[in-house]
Structure 1
């Protein structure tokens, strides 16, 4: 075989190897995926909200929150991706007149706009019912890549029990009045961030089982090579006396940790927490 022919065969072999390498490498679901945060003032005001802004050129995909302080007397009333401003809102409220200082931190998951991105919501009736559920479905051809929840109208005695996946195509949420009862009419919102299915999209979760009355700190990790794009968490058997105080994607966006506690008066029953992460390449 001539020297020229050998060289041509070698070049063809390298090209074939490069093509195989390109096919084997997973696509990036959302370029420039990142986490940002913002924290409210720390004082004894009854209600606080923090808004974590996404960097220019990116969209808000999901997020979480942390209640800093509160002594078991402060719970979330909002964890929501705001598609109109590309911020993630985390709001919390005292369940009475808590004299101490506390603050709330919002964590936003941001990235370049995926195909089919849209934000959908559903609100329950506004009335004095003790317990409410809400659910929302994504538009045809899209799936949920993150979840959100909001309570509106409460004076502090409605506790979010959880929010998370409704199959792959939506969000379900629930909330219940605490043991003191809520004198005002209130409503519950379920929020979903929807998009075309991301490359390698996968829902994973972790539980803190068996049920007991101890604080839960439970972490779910994405499979190797995948990153968190959205999250959710549910407290089973909350009954308005157990709530989240943190739901945080880590800095590398490879894991989500949920922390749940009983209110300051305790709960006379056992309960457990499940945390969700929506992962993709």
Structure 2
């Protein structure tokens, strides 16, 4: 029997190098990876933060607040909150803005008092979810037709193989008489677009109890921030819709599942209600929607919250 002693010194180094070269050649030929049998995969969304500036508390009938992202970061999505609001303050803008060149990304929100208005002081808060750039991220905008329907909507669709990261919308030429509602299209794990709609306010009833509504022409824009997945399980949209009843206001929370965090959110209210808040907590664990119904109308009504959650 022939005995072989363990390699030492230069011989050990040659054996080790040969083994490494053999492994590398095998990997190149078969597509296998060299190293850990289960390599860690990076999440789709880098660590993100929430920026949430507030306007002054006063009685200005129209307010716009901008939540800017830190330099070098991109806005994924965002939210809005009317502080000390009521059913006569309507949100008309929730817009993710991707800046060009050296500008800062931001999430811009606007709210206005309707034709009834309020004597209360109130403030408007904007939320921006910001992160280092996400590979393949795009912002899609779609403008709907100009008309004077009681409700009008339009959808912005994500490009092929990308999915919704953030959402928004904007009312054009509503003159403070049209409130914004938004929702995510597609399924929970394959969200493929954003629908933005406008609901005309009812106004003050006449002597016969009829509400005049709004007679002007207006339109709505939908915004979808989209990105590809790294893993098929990277995204999940959570929708929470309580049963319709007379509760006013309705406070609806949509929490993200374990391992995922909020990148954006949407809120919806059925006529005769308005969305007063689509806010995101600092830890990005949930989206909270606050809907308020027109106080002059009785009966059941509904609304829902949607949290866009990514790993």
Same-fold call, TM > 0.5? yes
Match of 2:26 in 1: none
Q: Deviations over 1:13-42 (max 9, x none)?
A: xxxxx825x63x552222231100111222
Distance 1:225 1:4, change over 3 A: farther
Q: Secondary structure at the match of 1:19?
A: coil
Match of 2:155 in 1: 135
1:276 aligns with 2:306: yes
> Structure 1 residue 271: deviation in Å?
1.9
Match of 1:179 in 2: 202
Q: Secondary structure at the match of 2:252?
A: strand
> Structure 1 residue 231: deviation in Å?
1.6
Instruction: Tell me the distance in 2 between the aligned counterparts of 1:252 and 1:44.
Output: 31
Structure with larger Rg:
2
> Structure 1 residue 109: deviation in Å?
0.4
Instruction: Tell me the distance in 2 between the aligned counterparts of 1:33 and 1:191.
Output: 20
Q: Secondary structure at the match of 2:36?
A: helix
Q: Deviations over 1:70-110 (max 9, x none)?
A: 33220100111111241001110101242221110000001
Match of 2:237 in 1: 204
TM-align CA RMSD: 2.4
> Is the 2:138–2:225 Cα contact (8 Å) retained in structure 1?
yes
Instruction: Tell me the distance in 1 between the aligned counterparts of 2:227 and 2:239.
Output: 24
> Structure 1 residue 122: deviation in Å?
1.1
Q: Deviations over 1:147-181 (max 9, x none)?
A: 11111111222122x21212122111222212221
Question: What are the residue-to-residue correspondences of 1:112-191 with 2, within 5 Å?
Answer: 112-160=132-180, 162-167=181-186, 168-180=191-203, 181-191=213-223
1:40 aligns with 2:40: no
> Is the 1:242–1:267 Cα contact (8 Å) retained in structure 2?
no
Match of 2:275 in 1: 244
Instruction: Tell me the distance in 2 between the aligned counterparts of 1:98 and 1:153.
Output: 21
Distance 1:46 1:26, change over 3 A: same
What TM-score do you get using the length of structure 2 for normalisation? 0.78
Question: What are the residue-to-residue correspondences of 1:11-90 with 2, within 5 Å?
Answer: 19-20=36-37, 23=39, 25-84=40-99, 85-90=104-109
Instruction: Tell me the distance in 1 between the aligned counterparts of 2:297 and 2:182.
Output: 21
Instruction: Tell me the distance in 2 between the aligned counterparts of 1:47 and 1:183.
Output: 20
Instruction: Tell me the distance in 2 between the aligned counterparts of 1:230 and 1:275.
Output: 11
1:93 aligns with 2:112: yes
Instruction: Tell me the distance in 2 between the aligned counterparts of 1:39 and 1:3.
Output: 72
Aligned length: 264
Aligned with residue 265 of structure 2, among 228, 231, 240? 231
Instruction: Tell me the distance in 2 between the aligned counterparts of 1:249 and 1:52.
Output: 13
What TM-score do you get using the length of structure 1 for normalisation? 0.85
Match of 1:13 in 2: none
Poorly superposed stretches of 4+, deviation over 4 Å: 2-5
> Structure 1 residue 58: deviation in Å?
0.8
Structure whose residues are more often strand by fraction: 1
Aligned with residue 195 of structure 1, among 227, 236, 247? 227
Distance 1:136 1:220, change over 3 A: same
> Structure 1 residue 4: deviation in Å?
10
Unpaired stretches in structure 1, ≥5 consecutive residues: 6-17
